[in-house]
A and B are shown apart, each in its own frame.
Chain A
Amino acid sequence: MTAALSKHFKTVVGKPWIWAFAGAFAVWAATVLYTGGTGAGQILSAALSFATFSVIVGMGQMYVITLGPGNVDLSIPATMTFAGAVSMKIMETQDIMILPGLVIALLCGLTVGVFNYGLIRTLRIPPIIATLSSSFLVQSCAIAYGRGLKIKPPELLAEFTTAKIAGVPLLAICVIALAAVMSVVLHRTVFGRSVLAIGQNSRAAELAGVKVNFIRLATYAQSGVLAALCGYLLAGFSGGASLNMGAEYLLASIAVVVIGGTSVAGGFANLPGLWGAALFMFLLVTMLNTFGLSAGIRLLLTGVIIVGVITLAGGRRN
């Protein structure tokens, strides 16, 4: 009985994503203790709302990072802004245009993703440089297309993105479902297995019959599409697109991947960790704000705590 229990305990502790959830729970508990129990529910609800957006871009980034050392998508913020601005302009606040707007937004993301991989593959530019430079181009497009800014989202879209069912944001439920789908894609499809194989040893993957270039193209394209989806939804959620709406999602997309227990060296990834890490990041900031600490101390503690969680999770893995 105890042996079975301890084995069960070991398999749970062995999961790399458990530390992100443990961290999230710990900071939430600390906050609630500090406030004496008030606002426990609201904090969780808000955390779910905001974590949703980090998780959407984090999923794309996770697949890219899993391709192996050097792979990263830095064009996520620009893609979000661009897709948000273009779709708001296309929809012109009309509910009937919600779906066409979504399709256009996703096409924007797809284009950026394919363009990124074009730079990486045909010009042999390292991904970090390729996606960074393309992000300047995309951001410029968004600025040039500035007419899409300051346009309110269609009412129905705004309602959908802010709707809650019994305190749980509707969007969060959808993205949890999406993450579940992406988890199945990662572990049970040819595409997902190929991504994991390339991340471990791309030459062996090629010699085992994996279409390495096509899979990498698809992964960068997927990251672009997810960034666009995030931009579209975030514009709906926050009452319109703005030029710096994606800014904080560059680091967030990478942080949730790493804190979530995905290997930075590639070849090993998990989806639940993204949620744990996204909640942790939001709740951490909430906690430090609740404590009423000064801005300097808040930043300091944020850094220290993130390093702590990564060390804990990483240490267990080895």
Chain B
Amino acid sequence: MEPFVTLDGVGKNYGAVQALQHVDLQILAGQALGIVGHNGAGKSTLISILAGAQSPSDGKLTFQESGTSLPGYKVDQAQAHGIRCVFQELSLCPNLTVAENARILHPAIKGIGWKARARTLISEKLDEVFPGHGINPDDEVGDLSIAKRQMVEIARAFTRVESPIHLIILDEPTSSLDAIIAQQLLKHLRGFVDQGGACILISHLLEEILQSSDRVVVMRDGGIVDDRAARDFDRAKLVEAMGSVAKEHGNSGKTAKQRSTDSQPLVSIRPAQQGDTRRLQAYSGEIVGLAGLSGHGQTDALVDIYLEKRRDGQSPQKAVPMALVAGDRQVDGVFPLWSIGMNIVIGSMRQLTRSGLIDPEAEARLCKDWREKIAIRTPDMNNNILSLSGGNQQKALFARALASDAEIILMDDPMRGVDIGTKQEVYEMIREEAGLGRTFLWYTTEMDELEHCDHVYVFRNGAIVADLSGDEVTEQRVLQASFEESTDAQERSA
């Protein structure tokens, strides 16, 4: 196979932080390259350099086709070389329509009728990659769910007007997509690679990497530590190469807590689109899962609970303190002008207030405690929150919720883009806290995570369609409930 681009000794440092050190890598045409590594291992930095969004501190890039290595390599040159990216943080303009966003990537679409052409371009690509996507090219991006925005972003990267596409870079493309749509994407990607395209896939879902790539590169601490054909790896080997401290465990073998019928639930609401009398309930000390395909009303249910909307006669009278861990962290979570510490403290301001003022010492103590407890990778908690990698920002949001006095913690698919080691740590912490009497409501699109739940509600079209507890929580039952209309009837007759 021909190399498409070669990296020689590429490094990048941000001040004192060495994000990437001396990376040599060949990206081959007609090959799907998987990159795995912990949060902060340098994956995102590496692809930003390839995309021209950041310039390397040293080293060079050589393109096979033109035979040139480019100093001052920028986004437009990356575009000209046929490189397309789908970033972890979505890069669409929320105030523009889907078609207008497609036009941004293609300056060649101009003159009278540009909108119609942009509309056709993106619609066709969406139909091709995600059949049955249900997205109108005239929808404003801000009105779409995060999953649909991701689909638009991906489809847009595959659209082509003039120059051919040689390399597609996908950074955590499936983290906000459900299993079916993720499969559609991976299938399309395979087709692209088989026609001679190159592709880089970054994902924390190791099965996905093993299944979809031809070759896997493992990164750790800003460097490449392993580079082999995908068939030479298996899950355990990947985890080992990443240096993950994660304890791989199968089913934890825990016994689900039995709900006693006489105690009062802490939460009880009927979702907005619920036709029957089913209710979303949570009892003290439970971990309650909200499952189903992404964008089927789980987030709305959590926000309703949090903002104390949709309460009725059957809801508990007394409201207990709650905290929410956002999934869409740029929109719902992070305060971009603040330090990591202040981003955490905002959840606990009242407890830290002494005679009207927030006690700076207590504040510093809380930051220090949580930096250790949840291992936020930063030299200083006073650094800006945006200096952290995405996964570490998410950790800070966890710390905000867990540090507060909330009795109920609502989690909106919070593990997107979080590496496997961190996930295991957080699962552990959630179990511990639940043991101490905290209640968790956890929306997740990952099956593995549902295994930690005592009780799972499966959502479809904004309503609860299945209510599983303990041993009933199996991948099959959840998928069945998510897809099949007939499940309703079965459940009811049972």
Report A's interface with B, CB cutoff 8 A.
184, 188-190, 193-194, 196-197, 200-201, 203-210, 263, 267-268
Q: Across the interface, do A200 and B307 meet the contact criterion of CB distance under 8 Å?
A: no
- B336 CB within 8 Å of chain A: yes
Query: In the complex the two chains form, what is the Cα distance from A196 to B343 in whole Å?
Result: 11
Contacts of B404 in A (CB 8 A): 209
Q: CA separation between A267 and B324, bound complex, in Å?
A: 21
Q: Which of B3-11, B150-158, B325-333, B439-447 contacts A (4 or more CB under 8 A)?
A: B325-333
**Interchain nearest-CB distance for A233 vs B (Å):** 26
List CB contacts (< 8 Å) of B296-335 with chain A.
303, 306-307, 322-324, 326, 331-335
A203 touches B337 (CB 8 A): no
Chain B 12-30 residues near chain A, CB threshold 8 A:
none
Q: Interface centre among B306, B358, B400, by most A CB within 10 Å?
A: B358
Chain B residues engaging chain A, CB cutoff 8 angstroms: 303, 306-307, 322-324, 326, 331-338, 342, 345-347, 349-350, 353, 356-358, 360, 400, 404
Q: List the B residue with the shortest CB-CB distance to A263.
A: B337
CB-based contact B307/A206 at 8 Å: yes
| A197 touching B332, Cβ below 8 Å | no
Q: Which of B323, B334, B357 contacts A209 (CB 8 A)?
A: B323
User: Given A208-B346, A209-B347, A203–B356 Cβ distance below 8 Å?
Assistant: no
Q: A200-B337, A207-B303, A267-B337 are in contact. Are A190 and B332 (CB under 8 A)?
A: no
Q: Which chain B residues lie closer than 8 Å to A196 at the CB level?
A: 335, 337-338
Instruction: List 15 other contacts, CB 8 Å, given A189-B357, A207-B324, A208-B323.
Output: A188-B357, A189-B356, A189-B358, A190-B353, A197-B338, A200-B335, A201-B335, A204-B334, A207-B326, A207-B332, A208-B324, A208-B333, A208-B347, A208-B400, A209-B322
Q: Which residue of A lies closest to B400 (CB)?
A: A208
Q: How far is the CB of B225 from chain A (nearest CB, A)?
A: 36
Say whether B331 contacts A203, CB under 8 Å: yes
Q: Closest Cβ of chain A: how far from B376's Cβ, in Å?
A: 17
Subset of 20 A-B contacts with CB under 8 Å: A184-B357, A189-B353, A189-B356, A189-B358, A193-B345, A193-B346, A193-B358, A196-B335, A197-B335, A197-B338, A200-B335, A200-B338, A201-B331, A204-B331, A204-B333, A204-B334, A205-B335, A205-B346, A208-B346, A209-B404
Contacts of B332 in A (CB 8 A): 203-204, 207
Across the two chains, which residue of chain A brings its CB closest to B360? A188
Given the contacts A190-B349, A207-B324, A208-B400, A267 and B358 also touching, CB distance less than 8 Å: no
A210 vs B335: C-alpha distance when bound (angstroms): 13
Q: Are A201 and B303 in contact (CB under 8 A)?
A: no
- Select the residue from B335, B342, B350 with max chain A CB neighbours within 10 A: B335
Rounded to whole angstroms, the CA-CA distance of A203 and B356 in the bound complex is: 25
The residue that A201 contacts in the complex, of B324, B334, B347, with Cβ under 8 A, is: B334
Structural contact, B331 and A193, CB atoms closer than 8 A: no
Contact B326 A204 (CB under 8 A): yes
A200 neighbours in B (Cβ, 8 Å): 335-338
In the docked arrangement, what's the CA distance between A193 and B345, Å?
Answer: 10
Cα distance A267–B342 in the bound complex, in angstroms: 13
Contact of B333 among A188, A193, A207, A210 (CB under 8 A): A207
Do the beta carbons of A190 and B303 come within 8 Å of each other? no
Contacts of A209 in B (CB 8 A): 322-323, 346-347, 404
Assembly CA distance A75 to B335 (angstroms): 30
Which among A194, A201, A206 has the highest number of chain B CB atoms within 10 Å? A201
Across the interface, name the chain A residue whose C-beta is closest to B303: A207
- How many angstroms between the C-alpha atoms of A184 and B357 in the bound complex? 8
Shortest Cβ-Cβ A-B pairs, 5 listed: A200-B335, A190-B349, A188-B357, A188-B358, A207-B324
- Inter-chain contact B307/A190, CB cutoff 8 Å: no
A204 to B343, CA, bound (A): 11
Residue of A nearest to B346 (CB): A208
* Contact partners of B338 in chain A: CB under 8 A: 196-197, 200
- Across the interface, name the chain B residue whose C-beta is closest to A198: B335
Q: List residues of chain B with CB within 8 A of the CB of A184.
A: 357
Instruction: Tell me if A267 and B303 are in contact (CB < 8 A).
Output: no
Query: Which chain B residues lie closer than 8 Å to A197 at the CB level?
Result: 335, 338, 346
A184 to B359, CA, bound (A): 12
On chain A, the residues within 8 Å of B323 by CB distance are: 208-209
Contacts known (A190-B353, A193-B358); A201 close to B336, Cβ less than 8 A: yes
Which of B334, B337, B358, B400 has the largest number of chain A CB atoms within 10 A?
B337
> Which residues of B have CB within 8 Å of A208?
323-324, 333, 346-347, 400
B333 contact set on A, CB distance < 8 A:
204, 207-208
Tell me the complex Cα distance, A9–B223, Å. 37
| CB proximity of A305 to chain B, nearest CB, Å | 28
Min Cβ gap B337→A in Å is 5
Give the distance to chain B from A149, nearest Cβ to Cβ, in Å.
39
Q: Report the Cα distance A205→B307, complex, angstroms.
A: 12
Known: A203-B332, A207-B306. A193 touches B337 (CB 8 A): no
Is there an interface contact between B335 and A267, defined as CB atoms closer than 8 Å?
A: yes
Q: A113: shortest Cβ distance to chain B, in Å?
A: 21
CB distance from B413 to the nearest CB of A (A): 14
Give Cα A267–Cα B336 distance, bound, in whole angstroms: 9
